Amino acid sequence: MTDATVSTKPMTLDEFIRIYETEGPFEIIGGERIAMSPTVTGHNRIVMRLVVPMQTLAQQNQLGEVMFESPFVLHYDSNWVKGSRVPDIMFVAANRFDPYCENDPEWRNKPLVLVPDLAAEVISMNDNYLDVDRKVRTYLDDGVKIIWVINPRAQTVVVYEYGSNQHTTLNRDDALTAEAVIPGFEIKVGAIFS
């Protein structure tokens, strides 16, 4: 997930875009710019096993937008970026995404300036569990409704929900759903890893 961390000064959205394009993907969490490590084939395979059925369902039913390896930034005041995240997968419900696009004619030319309804993280071999936990807490603080932490080694998915102090661990035989944000989505956890 992460490679290097550096303190960062506040930056405008234009600066964020320029640095992201020239220096590579990064997140801003707690005032620190955290460089993102490149993903590997197994990681991408897991991401696509979720993205394809999510996107198919979302498009067929006009539920919203599925994105992967794409940044979102927290709201910005006077064009100053307050923070950014790069989930492996994110989903934004149509009732939020459509007005966002209608109200910002430049939405295609910048990162999403909207907190997603769902964020998923695939744990990589070089990820530190404390960093993953910190990122989950950050997503919850941001207002993400559902977070999936996908662990390829254990072949589990841990589900966190906004407003709950508990989480649920799903194993290979369990069904992964997101009914609160993607009605009708369901996939066996084992299918993600097979």
What is the residue-level pLDDT of the chain in tens, covering all 194 positions? 444 556 567 788 888 888 888 888 888 887 888 888 777 888 999 999 999 999 999 999 999 999 998 888 876 555 677 778 889 999 999 999 999 999 999 899 888 989 999 999 999 877 777 888 888 999 999 999 999 999 999 999 999 999 898 999 999 999 999 999 999 999 999 999 98
Q: Which CATH number characterizes residue 90's domain?
A: 3.90.1570.10
50: alpha, beta or left? (left if phi > 0; alpha if psi -120 to 50): alpha
Q: Look at residue 159 and tell me if it is in a domain.
A: yes
Q: Look at residue 10 and tell me if it is in a domain.
A: no
Q: Look at residue 15 and tell me if it is in a domain.
A: no
Residue 4: what pLDDT? 56
- How far is Cα 189 from Cα 15, in angstroms, rounded to an integer? 39
- At position 114, the amino acid (one-letter code) is L
Q: Which two tokens stand for residue 24?
A: 């590579």
Residue 7: what pLDDT? 56
103 lies in which domain range?
40-193
Q: Is the pTM of this model over 0.85?
A: yes
**107 CB neighbour count, 10 Å cutoff:** 15
Q: Look at residue 170 and tell me if it is in a domain.
A: yes
Instruction: Specify which residues 27 forms β-bridges with.
Output: 34
- How far is Cα 174 from Cα 30, in angstroms, rounded to an integer? 35
Residue 141: what pLDDT? 92
- How far is Cα 4 from Cα 77, in angstroms, rounded to an integer? 27
Residue 5: what pLDDT? 58
- At position 145, the amino acid (one-letter code) is K
Number of domains comprising the chain: 1
Q: Look at residue 1 and tell me if it is in a domain.
A: no
Q: Look at residue 63 and tell me if it is in a domain.
A: yes
- How far is Cα 58 from Cα 77, in angstroms, rounded to an integer? 31
Q: Helix (H, G, I), strand (E, B), or coil: what is residue 188? A: strand
Start-to-end CA span in the chain (Å): 22
Residue 13: what pLDDT? 83
Instruction: Specify which residues 34 forms β-bridges with.
Output: 5, 27
Residue given tokens 């290097």 in the structure block: 4
Residue 3: what pLDDT? 45
Q: Look at residue 7 and tell me if it is in a domain.
A: no
Residue 50: what pLDDT? 97
Q: Helix (H, G, I), strand (E, B), or coil: what is residue 152? A: coil
Q: Look at residue 51 and tell me if it is in a domain.
A: yes
Instruction: Specify which residues 84 forms β-bridges with.
Output: 28, 73
